[in-house]
RNA sequence: UGCUUCGUGGUGUAACUGGCAACACGUCUGACUCUGAAUCAGAAGAGUCCAGGUUCGAGCCCUGGCGAAGCAACCA
C-alpha cells in the first residue's frame, strides 16, 4: 500500500527515531536496570469512554513495549466505586482491540490488589508512617497550606501506633460514616510539593464496588494504588501525562517503602493530546452526552474512539496520526487538519469509489432512447488495481449534483451550464441544451442535455477534452439514502481556553446536516455498518451502525480536499 | 511571593557526544488528470523567547531575565 511502516512489528530501530521516552527506556536497558526488562501498562479508569488522547497513550504504552520486546498490561484503575461501571470496562476493551493492540491474558484491576494495598497501609501505620486523621476534608484542606505557604500539622498526627491500628481496622469494618476519618501518610507538611503534605491515602466509602461488591468500606486513593500496582505487576516504565509530574516524588516515596530489592518502576510523563475545535476532557465529554448536546459517547462528532470509529476513521489512520504528532513535554494543540489528513491518506488507498448524489437534480438526455439502458464499467479504486471494477447502470434520466449546474456560470466554473459540455464519468460527454426553472422559487427543476454517442468511455471520441467531469446516478436505478454531513463540533479553535466563556457557547450549530433525499448507485443498497467508500468528488463516507439493507445511512468521515470550494469563497 | 515543567516557521515534530535549522500538515503556484481528488514539481514562511557569556563556531553548554502551564479533590 505504501512505504510507511504501519507501526506493527518493529525491532529496536535506530535511536534517531526514538522519542524521548523510548530513549530513556533504551538507556535503562543499556544500564541493565530491572534486568533489562521492559513492561508497561495502560491504566484507564472505567468511568467513561476512551478518546483519542487515550489512543495516544495506548500507542505509547503498547507500542514501546512491543518495540523493545516487552509486554504491556491492561489495568483498570478502579479505586473509586462512586464513578466506575462495568459498561465502561467493556467499551474500553473493545476500543483498545479495535485500535490493534492486545494485552493477552494480562487484564488486571487495581481492585485486585485491595488486600495487598490494605496490608501495606497497615505496615506503614506500624512503621509510624501513616496515621488516622479524624478531621473532615475542610479542616484538612485548611491545614494543607497553599503552594506558597507551608501547611500545619494535624492534631492527630502523632497518635500511637496502637490507636491508629485500632481506628483503621474499624474504618475497614465499616464502623464509621463517610468523611469522618481518613488514613494519611506521614511525610512532610512543609514540603514545597503539595502532594507530600501528608496525603490522604485511604478514605471511607460505603458503596458497592463494581468488582468487590460490599467487601470494603475503605478505598485507596489514586496515589496509594497506582505506583504499588505497578510494583505488584513488575512494571518497569509507568508512562503518564504531564499533570502527574508533581506526583512522582510521592510515587517514588511509596514504592521505596514497599520494595524489597533493586527492582523499581519508573514514572515518565509526556504531553497530552489536544486538538483544535474540540474538547478532550472526559468530564466535558460526559457533559455533552448527559446534556444531550450530542447523541451519545459514539456520536460521530465526538473525539472518542467510538465516535471516530462511527465517523469512519480507521485504526491505522489514528495510529499514523499519533505517530506524526509525537511525544514531548510541550503542551501543544494539534491542528485538526492533521487528523483529517491521516484519514484521507489511509482511505484514499483503501476505499472503493462510488457514485452518490447528495443534493439531486434531474438531468434528461433528450437524444438517448428512453427505453435504453447500459451498464458502464467503473474502476473501483484507481490507486489499487486489485480492487477491480463494477458495472453501473446508465439511462436517459440521471441525477446530478445540484451545485454542478449554474445558470450563469463564471469562466472558472468547470461544470455544467447552458451550452456547456461536461463528461459524465465513465459514460458520455453531454452538452446542456436547456433547463426548467420554477420562476417563483428560482429553483432548477430539470436540466436537458444531448449526448455524443462516440464519446463513451473507451469509444472513438472518448479523448475529447472537456473542462469538467461529473458523477451521476440513474434515476430508475437509484437507491434512496440518508447522509449525515458532519463538521467540527465547536466553531472556536480552543473552546476551553476562552476566559469568561463557557466552552458550550462555542458549539457549532451546523455541526450536523442531515440529507434525506440522497441518491446512490445500486451497488450501495446493502452496505453493512462501518463499510467505507469514497463518494466520488465529495468525500469519504461510512455506513452508520443504524444502516439497514435497502435503507442505507451514511456518515461523512471527511470531505475531499476542495480547491474549487476555496476558489469560490474568494 | 513556593515547587515542578516547558519555550524552534501558522500548527505539530527533527536537528547524533555544539558544525551554516530539517520533515509533516496547512497555505500559494504550476504540471498531469474521465474525481477541481490523488500524484508530481516548485514557492513563500522561523534564524530557534530576550540579554549576556564560553567557543574558531551554540537551537544545543553556562548565567540572568521574560513568558506559559501544572500543583492547594476524602477524583484519576
* Strand bridging mode A443-452 / A512-520: unpaired
| DSSP summary character for residue A560 | P
User: Which residues of A are known to be catalytic?
Assistant: 45, 272, 282
Render pLDDT for A149-158 as a digit per residue (tens, 0 to 9): 999 999 999 9
Render pLDDT for A318-374 as a digit per residue (tens, 0 to 9): 999 999 999 999 999 999 999 999 999 999 999 999 999 999 999 999 999 999 999
Q: What crossing angle do the helices spanning A222-233 and A248-258 adopt, rounded to 10°?
A: 50
Protein chain A, residues 501-560, with a C-beta closer than 7 Å to any atom of nucleic acid strand B: 534, 536-537, 560
Q: Which residues contact A403 (CB under 8 A, 6 or more apart)?
A: A359
Phi-psi region of A529 (alpha: psi -120 to 50; beta: other; left: phi over 0): beta
CA atom of A157 to C1′ atom of B56, Å: 63
Report which of A313, A380, A320, A382 is spatially closest to residue A352, judged by C-alpha positions: A380
Q: Is the pTM of this model over 0.90?
A: yes
In this prediction, residue A4 has a pLDDT band, given cuts at 50, 70 and 90, of: very low
b/e for A391-408, b at 16 or more Cβ within 10 A?
Answer: ebbbbbbbbbbeebbeee
With distances taken from each CA to the C1' atom of nucleotide B1, the closest residue turns out to be: A148
Q: In this structure, is the CB of residue A326 within 7 Å of any atom belonging to strand B?
A: yes
Which nucleotide is closest to the Cα of A273 by its C1'?
A: B12
A404-430 mean pLDDT: 96
Dist. CA A446–CA A414, nearest whole Å: 19
CA atom of A380 to C1′ atom of B38, Å: 14
Which nucleotide is closest to the Cα of A535 by its C1'?
A: B35
CA atom of A329 to C1′ atom of B58, Å: 22
In this prediction, residue A95 has a pLDDT band, given cuts at 50, 70 and 90, of: very high
Dist. CA A319–CA A315, nearest whole Å: 6
CA atom of A49 to C1′ atom of B46, Å: 39
Per-residue confidence (pLDDT) for residue A17, from 0 to 100: 78
Which nucleotide is closest to the Cα of A326 by its C1'?
A: B13
Per-residue confidence (pLDDT) for residue A7, from 0 to 100: 31
Three-class DSSP labels, A76-127: ECCCCCCCCCHHHHHHHHHHHHHHCCCCCCCEEEHHHHHHHHHHHHHHHHHC
Per-residue confidence (pLDDT) for residue A183, from 0 to 100: 98
A158-162 mean pLDDT: 98
Mean of pLDDT over chain A: 95
In this prediction, residue A570 has a pLDDT band, given cuts at 50, 70 and 90, of: low
CA atom of A118 to C1′ atom of B40, Å: 65
Same CATH topology for A12-270 and A282-352+481-568: the answer is no
CA atom of A246 to C1′ atom of B1, Å: 20
Write the DSSP assignment of A168-206 as a string of letters: HHHHHHT-S-TTS-EEEE---TT-SSGGGSS-EEEEE--
Which nucleotide is closest to the Cα of A43 by its C1'?
A: B76
Report which of A211, A271, A281, A333 is spatially closest to residue A56, judged by C-alpha positions: A271
Protein chain A, residues 115-174, with a C-beta closer than 7 Å to any atom of nucleic acid strand B: 135-137, 140-141, 144-148
A114-143 mean pLDDT: 98
Dist. CA A389–CA A382, nearest whole Å: 10
| In chain A, where the domains are located | 12-270, 282-352+481-568, 356-471
CA atom of A18 to C1′ atom of B21, Å: 20
- Answer whether A239's CB lies under 8 Å from A230's CB: no
A402-422 mean pLDDT: 95
Q: Is A313 helix (H, G, I), strand (E, B) or coil?
A: coil
Per-residue confidence (pLDDT) for residue A515, from 0 to 100: 98
Protein chain A, residues 360-389, with a C-beta closer than 7 Å to any atom of nucleic acid strand B: 381-383
Report which of A455, A468, A354, A378 is spatially closest to residue A422, judged by C-alpha positions: A468
Render pLDDT for A218-243 as a digit per residue (tens, 0 to 9): 999 999 999 999 999 999 999 999 99
In this prediction, residue A568 has a pLDDT band, given cuts at 50, 70 and 90, of: confident
The CATH class given to the A356-471 domain equals: mainly beta
Q: In this structure, is the CB of residue A338 within 7 Å of any atom belonging to strand B?
A: yes
- Answer whether A160's CB lies under 8 Å from A167's CB: no
A283-310 mean pLDDT: 97
A135-139 mean pLDDT: 97
Report which of A82, A167, A88, A76 is spatially closest to residue A114, judged by C-alpha positions: A76
Protein chain A, residues 170-209, with a C-beta closer than 7 Å to any atom of nucleic acid strand B: 178-182, 192-195, 200, 203-204
Render pLDDT for A310-328 as a digit per residue (tens, 0 to 9): 999 999 999 999 999 999 9
Place of cell 451545485: A403
State yes or no: pLDDT of A3 exceeds 50.
no
CATH assignment of A12-270?
3.40.50.620
Per-residue confidence (pLDDT) for residue A501, from 0 to 100: 87
The mean-pLDDT minimum among A71-75, A441-445, A499-503 falls in: A499-503
Set of cell numbers at residue A263: 527492582
| Domain A282-352+481-568 indexed as CATH 2.30.30.90 | no
Nucleotides of chain B within 7 Å of a protein C-beta? 1-8, 10-16, 24-28, 34-39, 68-76
Dist. CA A54–CA A168, nearest whole Å: 36
Which nucleotide is closest to the Cα of A327 by its C1'?
A: B13
Q: What are phi and psi of A28, to 5 degrees?
A: -60, -40
Q: Decide which of A8 and A232 is more confident.
A: A232
Q: Which residues contact A335 (CB under 8 A, 6 or more apart)?
A: A276
With distances taken from each CA to the C1' atom of nucleotide B27, the closest residue turns out to be: A566
Which nucleotide is closest to the Cα of A45 by its C1'?
A: B76
Protein chain A, residues 272-311, with a C-beta closer than 7 Å to any atom of nucleic acid strand B: none
With distances taken from each CA to the C1' atom of nucleotide B69, the closest residue turns out to be: A331
Report which of A301, A344, A339 is spatially closest to residue A321, judged by C-alpha positions: A339
CA atom of A232 to C1′ atom of B41, Å: 58
- Answer whether A271's CB lies under 8 Å from A244's CB: no
Amino acid at each position: 500500500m505504501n512505504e510507511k511502516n504501519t507501526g506493527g512489528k518493529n525491532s529496536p530501530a535506530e535511536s534517531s527515531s526514538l522519542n524521548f521516552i523510548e530513549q530513556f527506556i533504551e538507556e535503562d536497558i543499556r544500564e541493565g536496570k530491572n534486568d533489562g526488562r521492559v513492561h508497561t501498562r495502560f491504566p484507564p479508569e472505567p468511568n467513561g469512554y476512551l478518546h483519542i488522547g487515550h489512543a495516544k497513550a495506548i500507542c505509547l504504552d503498547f507500542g514501546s513495549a512491543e518495540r523493545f520486546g516487552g509486554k504491556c498490561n491492561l489495568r483498570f484503575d478502579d479505586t473509586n466505586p462512586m464513578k466506575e461501571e462495568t459498561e465502561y470496562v467493556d467499551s474500553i476493551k473493545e476500543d483498545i482491540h479495535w485500535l490493534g493492540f492486545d494485552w493477552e491474558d494480562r487484564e488486571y484491576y487495581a481492585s485486585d490488589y485491595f488486600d495487598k494495598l490494605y496490608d501495606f497501609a497497615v505496615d506503614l501505620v506500624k512503621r509510624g508512617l501513616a496515621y488516622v486523621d479524624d478531621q473532615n476534608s475542610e479542616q484538612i484542606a485548611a491545614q494543607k497550606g497553599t503552594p506558597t505557604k507551608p501547611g500545619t500539622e494535624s492534631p492527630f498526627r502523632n497518635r500511637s501506633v496502637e490507636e491508629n491500628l485500632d481506628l483503621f481496622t474499624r474504618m475497614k469494618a465499616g464502623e464509621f460514616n463517610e468523611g469522618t476519618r481518613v488514613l494519611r501518610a506521614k511525610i512532610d507538611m512543609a514540603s514545597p510539593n503539595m502532594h507530600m503534605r501528608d496525603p490522604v491515602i485511604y478514605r471511607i466509602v460505603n458503596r458497592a464496588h463494581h468488582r468487590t461488591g460490599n467487601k470494603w468500606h475503605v478505598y485507596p486513593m489514586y496515589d496509594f494504588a497506582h505506583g504499588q500496582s505497578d510494583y505488584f505487576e513488575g512494571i518497569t516504565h509507568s508512562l503518564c501525562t504531564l499533570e502527574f509530574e508533581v506526583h512522582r516524588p510521592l510515587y517514588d516515596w511509596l514504592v521505596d517503602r514497599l520494595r524489597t530489592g533493586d527492582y523499581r518502576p519508573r514514572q515518565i510523563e509526556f504531553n497530552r493530546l489536544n486538538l483544535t475545535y474540540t474538547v478532550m476532557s472526559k468530564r466535558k465529554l460526559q457533559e455533552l452526552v448527559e446534556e444531550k448536546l450530542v447523541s451519545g459517547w459514539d456520536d460521530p462528532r465526538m473525539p472518542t474512539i467510538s465516535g471516530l470509529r462511527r465517523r469512519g476513521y480507521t485504526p491505522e489512520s489514528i495510529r499514523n496520526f499519533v505517530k506524526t504528532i509525537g511525544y514531548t513535554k510541550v503542551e501543544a494543540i494539534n491542528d485538526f487538519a492533521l487528523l483529517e489528513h491521516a484519514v484521507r491518506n489511509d482511505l484514499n488507498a483503501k476505499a472503493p469509489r462510488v457514485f452518490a448524489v447528495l443534493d439531486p437534480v434531474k438531468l434528461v438526455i433528450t437524444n438517448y432512447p428512453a427505453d435504453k439502458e447500459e451498464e458502464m464499467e467503473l474502476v473501483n479504486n484507481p490507486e489499487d488495481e486489485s480492487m477491480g471494477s463494477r458495472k453501473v447502470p446508465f439511462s436517459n434520466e440521471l441525477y446530478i449534483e445540484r451545485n454542478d449546474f449554474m445558470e450563469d456560470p463564471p469562466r472558472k466554473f468547470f461544470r455544467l451550464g447552458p451550452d456547456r459540455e461536461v463528461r459524465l464519468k465513465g459514460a458520455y460527454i453531454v452538452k446542456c441544451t436547456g433547463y426548467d426553472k420554477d420562476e417563483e422559487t428560482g429553483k432548477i427543476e430539470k436540466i436537458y442535455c444531448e449526448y455524443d454517442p462516440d464519446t463513451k468511455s473507451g469509444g472513438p471520441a472518448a479523448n475529447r477534452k472537456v473542462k469538467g467531469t461529473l458523477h451521476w446516478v440513474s434515476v430508475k436505478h437509484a437507491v434512496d439514502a440518508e447522509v449525515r454531513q458532519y463538521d467540527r463540533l465547536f466553531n472556536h479553535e480552543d473552546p476551553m481556553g476562552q476566559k469568561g466563556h463557557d466552552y458550550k457557547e462555542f458549539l457549532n450549530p451546523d455541526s450536523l446536516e442531515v440529507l434525506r433525499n440522497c441518491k446512490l448507485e445500486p451497488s450501495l443498497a446493502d452496505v453493512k455498518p462501518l463499510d467505507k467508500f469514497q463518494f466520488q468528488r465529495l468525500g469519504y463516507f461510512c455506513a452508520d451502525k443504524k444502516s439497514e439493507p435497502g435503507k442505507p445511512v451514511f456518515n461523512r468521515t471527511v470531505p475531499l480536499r476542495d480547491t474549487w470550494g476555496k476558489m469560490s469563497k474568494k
